[in-house]
Amino acid sequence: MKIAIYGQNYVKDNTQKVVEKLLDFLLKKESTVYFEQNFIKTQKSTIQNSSSVKTFNTLDDSFDLLISVGGDGTILRAITYVRNLGIPIVGINTGRLGFLATIQTDEIETALSEIFNGEYKISERTLVRVTTNPKNKDIEETNFALNEIAISRKNTTSMITVETHLNDEYLTSYWADGLILSTATGSTGYSLSCGGPVITPDANNFVLTPIAPHNLSARPLIIPDNTKVTLKVNGREDQFLISLDSRIATLPNTTIVTVEKADFAIKMVERLDETFLDTLRKKLLWGEDRRN
């Protein structure tokens, strides 16, 4: 198999150990291993200088699998390499919560053996696509997000107004610190922390979640994922921030932001005994009560 390995560009002791264990397993399986060119610089010289290891700065559809080493944020950055290539992604969790990076460090050999034996399933995750008028170069280069896009204020403590249309019909103008448009995958992230609902990954929905709204009647709204959402910002400052899975750009208030479902999906590798409900119970501690 042709494997790409991606991780964050800073050194953590547990990441070093995980990479060594991972590489040892892959080489025993006679895989062709490629490290992302910046990530390999954080590894020990024995890995950097190994003749068995190659590097990449872009991917193509000849890769069979991308392994992300880190947390969910690492996977969100990894998809900027995968894009619409259809390369399956699996995450080894060296972070904290891990809704996407679900393989624990003590399960590496077991989980990867299952994958190499074809004993896994694929969960296809919907993304959002952003366009702006006028066009913005930073957004055009990577105009998609797996978790969410978020509109927020900049250089001010005052709230902003986010005028919102759904399929060209006026919905409302949110007076708030900002507005999140989340996918089902991202519903357990930023949106959840702002009071949004949890949505199962196979649901064909997005959710609009206002950030600290002035009007307490402004509640999260679930919409079909084939909805075109148009946003326009007004406020005391002339600019606002937009983030796509934490990739941030500054836009003038004259910008019209359009958000739609992307025309491709991300393939997440899951173990056969792994379910979203099981992950919810484990990660959010549902049903955990020391009195029981």
From the candidates 13, 24, 72, 238, give the one annotated as an active-site residue. Answer: 72
* Cis geometry, peptide bond prior to residue 134 (ω within 30 degrees of 0): yes
The amino acid that residue 35 corresponds to is F
Contact 268, 102 (CB under 8 A): no
Annotation marks residue 61 as catalytic: no
User: Which positions are annotated as active-site residues?
Assistant: 72
